[in-house]
Amino acid sequence: MKKNNNRRVHSHDVTKAAKEALLRRGVKIEDIAEIVYEMQYPYNDGLTLEHCIKSVERVLLKREVQHAILVGVELDQLAEKKMLSQPLQSIVESDEGLFGVDETIALSSVLTYGSIALTTYGHLDKNKIGIIKKLDTKSGNGVHTFLDDLVASIAACAASRIAHKLRDLEEEGETFKSVPPHELGPEGEMLPVDDEP
């Protein structure tokens, strides 16, 4: 276990930096929410894009997710600027097929949301939809070797939260029609796991 020390970054700064990193790389919260909506609306009566946006916002509050974003975006940017040493530069730049560190980093967040998040992530990784397709390093400009996996991971976590909420609603005989979107968001009853007291 690591010990604590004093050269600390405040968690608000980490949250802010992670959100800015996504935006700087061209990914809006709405883009991720659209993937979530596409995955979940067939199963969830009354689900709206707004619910999905709030769920994504909540996922983005998790430390595990924020750290993954900071590391992944940093490596993508360093690769774009040709600042990684060889052979890592070539591997990241070309999104090498057997390189799995990108999936691994994204996976750590996915695992904190259980088995539904995991299979959803696997599905998204294989069947790239929405912004994930656009980010594919091989089809576009720029290096997004880590970013496409991070986005798939965030979408999978947000989708998993909705699937779990559905279960609770069903037990009460209700649907998403009776759920105000903000309940799924940062201001809702529940904080992200990592920040649980």
Site for a copy of itself in 83-122 (CB under 8 A): 83-88, 90-91, 93-101, 103-105, 107-108, 111-116, 118-122
Position of tokens 């904190």? Answer: 112
Site residues (CB under 8 A) for a copy of itself, limited to 139-178 = 161, 163-168, 170-171
Nearer to a copy of itself, 30 or 43 (CB): 43
29-56 burial, b for 16+ CB within 10 Å, e for fewer?
Answer: bebbbbbbbebbbeebeebbeebbbbbb
Nearer to a copy of itself, 23 or 119 (CB): 119
* CA 11 centroid distance within chain: 18
Site string for a copy of itself, 14-53 (x = CB under 8 A): x--x-------------------------x----------
Nearer to a copy of itself, 119 or 142 (CB): 119
Nearer to a copy of itself, 20 or 30 (CB): 20
Shortest Å, Cβ 108 to a copy of itself: 4
- The per-residue DSSP string of the chain comes to -PPP-SSPPPHHHHHHHHHHHHHHTT--HHHHHHHHHHHHTTT-TT--HHHHHHHHHHHTT-HHHHHHHHHHHHHHHHHHTT-SPTTHHHHHHTT-TT--HHHHHHHHHHHTTHHHHHHHHHHHHHS--THHHHH-TTTSSS--TTHHHHHHHHHHHHHHHHHHHHHHHHHTT--GGG--GGGGSTTSS---GGG--
Interface size with a copy of itself, residues (CB under 8 A) = 85
Nearer to a copy of itself, 24 or 28 (CB): 24
Shortest Å, Cβ 30 to a copy of itself: 20
Nearer to a copy of itself, 38 or 194 (CB): 194
Q: Indicate whether 195 belongs to the interface with a copy of itself (CB under 8 A).
A: yes
Shortest Å, Cβ 122 to a copy of itself: 1
- Other CB atoms within a 10 A radius of the CB of residue 86 amount to 8
Selected from 49, 67, 134, 175, the binder of a copy of itself by CB under 8 A is 67
Q: Indicate whether 187 belongs to the interface with a copy of itself (CB under 8 A).
A: no
